[in-house]
Amino acid sequence: MNTAPVKSFDDSTNVRVAEANNPSSSVVHFPDSEPLRLACDQLLAPISIAYQTYGELNADKSNAILICHTLTGDQYVASVHPMTKKPGWWETLVGPGKPIDTDRFFVICPNILGSCMGSTGPASIDPKTGRPYALNFPVVTIGDMVNAQVRLIDHLGIDQLFCILGGSMGGMQVLEWASSHTERAYSAVPIATAAWHSPQNIAFHEVGRQAVMADPDWCAGDYHLHQKVPRNGLAVARMAAHITYLSEEALHHRFGRSLQRGSELTFSFNADFQVESYLRHQGSTFVDRFDANSYLYITRAMDYFDLEAEHGDVLANAFRGTKTRFLVVSFTSDWLYPTRESREIVRALNAVAANVSFVEIETDSGHDSFLLDEPEFFATVRGFLNAAGVKRGLST
Amino acid sequence: MNTAPVKSFDDSTNVRVAEANNPSSSVVHFPDSEPLRLACDQLLAPISIAYQTYGELNADKSNAILICHTLTGDQYVASVHPMTKKPGWWETLVGPGKPIDTDRFFVICPNILGSCMGSTGPASIDPKTGRPYALNFPVVTIGDMVNAQVRLIDHLGIDQLFCILGGSMGGMQVLEWASSHTERAYSAVPIATAAWHSPQNIAFHEVGRQAVMADPDWCAGDYHLHQKVPRNGLAVARMAAHITYLSEEALHHRFGRSLQRGSELTFSFNADFQVESYLRHQGSTFVDRFDANSYLYITRAMDYFDLEAEHGDVLANAFRGTKTRFLVVSFTSDWLYPTRESREIVRALNAVAANVSFVEIETDSGHDSFLLDEPEFFATVRGFLNAAGVKRGLST
């Protein structure tokens, strides 16, 4: 594969392009002879799924937990990110002695199909052309991502996952698993998510996509070929999205109307307010680690997600006959996936007499709460996994 | 003044540039000898204030209502917009027999300082250079806008306005008038507004500004000189802002997850969902009628607005001694200026024993409710003006 550094890219871009094709993590390759049939009816092959594992799989392979990551997440859930060198994105929850205790459980976290950290996506080199797929990559769905994960779990020889767990878009994957592959999930924990993407969320995604595509350096998706990066467009997209991850209360407490430089307005378009400086930082650091086309494809997959429509407009039909044990979690100040959308999931599960717990965590930290230090959330997950573990006959 | 059409602009751009300098409405010019001292301590001169009036001023000049427009509004409150040819933006509320009855009241609506419909702003030709001010225009504040309006009201020979009324940023101007020029306001109606701009709202504005400034056609503000228009950036800014003007419920009712073309997903980045198509339309039509630099300056003025900080962090001090009669209006589903921010205004007015009514209108139409068909809102305004008119001794 041709992954030689592209000349005029800066170092972070070269590292990013390399990670998309030769990830630092484990990776499993499925050859041309094992194509994946996508929702759009195309066949995709070959396919790579990059993943990280933590802990040890027990003898009867009954202690595996699959963690599904978010829109801009990755497989480095509890280990250092190879580009940013920052700790894993969910080390609050996952690790030795943590609520998802890697001394006890075997944790698997795959990079999703369409992403850019080693699983096949638009930044991957298409072996048929020797160039990145870019917009020749097919539009994939949450269902496609999950079907690719099924391949990985088969490859690892695991019949049934003890738990499938994820927040935000990770929660969509959890719901898709629990609907389409319920026999593979002993338990499932969808967090801060919804069974279908709301029009407001589609609208925010569309703003982000238009920002990326408006950037001349996007080059109709072929920015790698032109040795460019649509930095400005992707940064604006990230800034808009980032606002939706926080609550108004969180912004008040964290920044309020505090100024950057003492207490003087500059009467300019500089970042006078701390919240402006913070957002600009979020935008620019994101561009260093994430692929712009992946951002387009993954937001699209989220927009398309509608478990209700796929089941005759009756969400309960998605879960009929399920034996999976569910824990549904929402956060009071999450306005991206508000509690009422979790309640819809719970109502559907109740309608098919599923085993379901529901917890709404009181917090003012917004959608991102599930990634933050939320003791009640940690205790809830720990308690659920312990109880389910006892039922499953796992040693404590 | 050099307002000759610029060659490579399209027609809508030429019309827009012309309206900024030679508006279709009335306009008053204040010469170099009458500069305006701005909050940034610069002197601005000359100044033009474009305005429309409706109805007749009565003999004792006691029936004048000043309407303050929104961020992207203009003076064409109840008459056809010279560029879009659409009806006035508040004809639901203003006109013969309407709640603001132009058979009874003399309505004045000025274009704000910094805007682009004939009042001095960044699209105006700087007579000292013969070129548009662009980023040489000083950063103005809501207070500066109001001080320019005071000049207009002086010019019209009106000592006291019967009422000053406006929604959103118009409401900020109403509060500024009522604070700095309370003796000029017999009554004041701030609608769907706040005494200070929240960090979340600053954040959304910053996203919009970054989108404009990221567009290479912005040319560091000098797009007119380069015969360009930062269409893509300004459209993205408008799209992001537009989401905040609606409520999630309104998006649900109006669009839901309805698709553009029958019921088939296209598995592409086309506007599959109606809400995407709607937003794109909002973005592109906005660019035809509004100046990108004005968008930067006016959002900045809103960010800077903080009546509480300007009065020793005690909002009540802004209104101490006021004799103005207030009606404060909010809308239940407005998340841009939620009801709690109106309540802060009401509490401050109560703390100085001001005459204040407060009405929260139940609606699911979001921030834009004040521009829509809201019978309870209309009845509230009509009732308040009638009662205040009786007190003021106006004939009915």
Query: Is A29 an active-site residue?
Result: no
| A181 touches A146 (CB < 8 A) | yes
Of B181, B197, B224, B367, the catalytic one is B367
Report the share of chain B in percent with pLDDT over 90: 93
Question: CA Rg, chain A, in Å?
Answer: 21
> Domains in chain B, start-ordered, CATH in brackets?
11-197+307-392 (3.40.50.1820), 203-298 (1.10.1740.110)
Task: Kindly tell me if the per-residue pLDDT of A59 is higher than 50.
Answer: yes
Q: What is the CB-side half-sphere exposure of residue A53 using CA atoms within 13 A?
A: 16
CB atoms within 10 A of CB B151: 17
N-to-C CA span, chain B: 46
Of B124, B334, B342, B365, the catalytic one is B334
A206/B276 Cβ within 8 A: yes
- Please state, rounded to an integer, the average pLDDT across all residues of chain A: 95
CA distances to A68, A174, A254, A371, B70 from A165, rounded to whole Å, are 6, 6, 29, 13, 46
Q: At what angle do helices B292-304 and B169-180 cross, to 10 degrees?
A: 50
A-B contacts at Cβ under 8 angstroms? 141
Task: Kindly tell me if the per-residue pLDDT of B323 is higher than 60.
Answer: yes
Tokens 């399209």 correspond to what residue? B10
Phi-psi category of A366—alpha, beta or left, where left has phi over 0 and alpha has psi -120 to 50?
A: left
Closest residue on chain A to B252 (Cα): A199
Report the share of chain A in percent with pLDDT over 70: 97
Predicted confidence band of residue B266 (pLDDT cuts 50, 70, 90)? very high
Which chain B residues contact residue A204 at CB under 8 A? 240, 243
- Please state, rounded to an integer, the average pLDDT across all residues of chain B: 95
Helix (H, G, I), strand (E, B) or coil at A1: coil
B138/A198 Cβ within 8 A: no
| A158 touches A180 (CB < 8 A) | no
Across B54-77, average pLDDT: 98
Contact B227/A at CB under 8 A:
no
Give the whole-angstrom CA distance, residue A21 versus residue A196: 31
Task: Kindly tell me if the per-residue pLDDT of B261 is higher than 80.
Answer: no
Residue B110 neighbours by CB under 8 Å, 6+ apart: B49, B50, B51, B66, B75, B119, B148, B149, B152
B66: β partners = B108, B164
pLDDT at A3: 42
Q: Which of A210, A239, A266 best probes binding to B when mutated, by most B CB atoms within 10 angstroms?
A: A210
| A181 touches A321 (CB < 8 A) | no
Task: Kindly tell me if the per-residue pLDDT of B2 is higher than 80.
Answer: no
CA distances to A34, A268, A357 from A111, rounded to whole Å, are 19, 42, 28
CA distance B25 to chain A (A): 30
What beta strand segments (E) does chain B contain?
26-30, 36-37, 43-44, 47-54, 64-68, 94-95, 100-101, 106-110, 125-126, 131-132, 163-167, 187-191, 325-331, 355-361
Binding-face residues of B in 344-383 toward A, CB within 8 A:
none
| B199 touches B114 (CB < 8 A) | no
| Greatest pairwise CA separation for chain A in angstroms | 67
Contact B314/A at CB under 8 A:
no
| A179 touches A319 (CB < 8 A) | yes
CA distances to A76, A265, A281 from A262, rounded to whole Å, are 38, 9, 19
Predicted confidence band of residue B6 (pLDDT cuts 50, 70, 90)? very low
Predicted confidence band of residue A22 (pLDDT cuts 50, 70, 90)? very high
Give the whole-angstrom CA distance, residue B43 versus residue B37: 5
pTM: 0.95
pLDDT at B14: 82
Task: Kindly tell me if the per-residue pLDDT of A4 is higher than 50.
Answer: no
Please report, for chain B, how many H helices and E strands are present, in that order: 10, 14
User: What are the helix (H) ranges across A329-374?
Assistant: 339-351
pLDDT tens-digit profile of B165-200?
Answer: 999 999 999 999 999 999 999 999 999 999 999 999
Q: What is the DSSP string of A145-213?
A: HHHHHHHHHHHTT-SSBSEEEEETHHHHHHHHHHHHSGGGBSEEEEES--SB--HHHHHHHHHHHHHHH
B126: β partners = B131
Q: ipTM, 2 decimals?
A: 0.93
| B230 touches B299 (CB < 8 A) | no
B213/A215 Cβ within 8 A: no
| A84 touches A35 (CB < 8 A) | no
Does the N-terminal peptide bond of residue B46 adopt cis geometry, omega within 30 degrees of 0?
yes
Question: CA Rg, chain B, in Å?
Answer: 21
pLDDT tens-digit profile of A78-134?
Answer: 999 999 999 999 999 999 999 999 999 999 999 999 999 999 999 999 999 999 999
Give the whole-angstrom CA distance, residue A208 versus residue A243: 12
Task: Kindly tell me if the per-residue pLDDT of B325 is higher than 60.
Answer: yes
| A186 touches A162 (CB < 8 A) | yes
- The candidate with the shortest Cα–Cα distance to A324, out of A180, A150, A188, is A188
Query: Is A367 an active-site residue?
Result: yes
Of A291, A303, A367, A368, the catalytic one is A367
pLDDT at B264: 86
B240/A276 Cβ within 8 A: no
CA distances to A7, A194, A242 from B2, rounded to whole Å, are 47, 57, 43
B303/A272 Cβ within 8 A: yes
Q: At what angle do helices B231-245 and B292-304 cross, to 10 degrees?
A: 40
Which chain A residues contact residue B300 at CB under 8 A? 269
Residues in chain A, how many? Answer: 396
Give the whole-angstrom CA distance, residue B275 versus residue B260: 9
Contact B309/A at CB under 8 A:
yes
B211/A236 Cβ within 8 A: yes
Predicted confidence band of residue B8 (pLDDT cuts 50, 70, 90)? very low
CA distance A225 to chain B (A): 20
Q: Which of B42, B204, B217, B236 best probes binding to A when mutated, by most A CB atoms within 10 angstroms?
A: B236
Task: Kindly tell me if the per-residue pLDDT of A7 is higher than 80.
Answer: no
pLDDT at A10: 65
| B232 touches A214 (CB < 8 A) | yes
pLDDT at B1: 36
pLDDT at B129: 94
Query: Is A258 an active-site residue?
Result: no
Give the whole-angstrom CA distance, residue A286 versus residue A73: 11
C-alpha B49: how far from chain center:
14
Predicted confidence band of residue B38 (pLDDT cuts 50, 70, 90)? very high
- The candidate with the shortest Cα–Cα distance to A29, out of A108, A109, A136, A124, is A124
- The candidate with the shortest Cα–Cα distance to B99, out of B386, B318, B323, B366, is B386
B235/A196 Cβ within 8 A: no
Q: What single DSSP character describes residue A355?
A: E
CA distance A228 to chain B (A): 15
Give the whole-angstrom CA distance, residue B221 versus residue A366: 36
pLDDT at B3: 41
Predicted confidence band of residue A260 (pLDDT cuts 50, 70, 90)? confident
Task: Kindly tell me if the per-residue pLDDT of A268 is higher than 90.
Answer: yes
Give the whole-angstrom CA distance, residue A323 versus residue B357: 57
Q: Which of A42, A245, A269, A304 best probes binding to B when mutated, by most B CB atoms within 10 angstroms?
A: A269
Which chain B residues contact residue A251 at CB under 8 A? 198-200, 203
Give the whole-angstrom CA distance, residue B35 versus residue B335: 38
pLDDT tens-digit profile of A144-180?
Answer: 999 999 999 999 999 999 999 999 999 999 999 999 9
C-alpha A140: how far from chain center:
14
pLDDT at A2: 39
Q: What is the DSSP string of A110-122?
A: EPPTT-SSSSSST
Across A264-288, average pLDDT: 94
Query: Torsion over CA of A268, A271, A273 and A277, rounded to 10 degrees?
Result: 180
Nearest to B206 among A39, A213, A279 (CB): A279
Read off the tokens for B43.
């002197």
B210/A214 Cβ within 8 A: no
Does the N-terminal peptide bond of residue A99 adopt cis geometry, omega within 30 degrees of 0?
no
Which chain B residues contact residue A198 at CB under 8 A? 248, 251-252
| A34 touches A45 (CB < 8 A) | yes
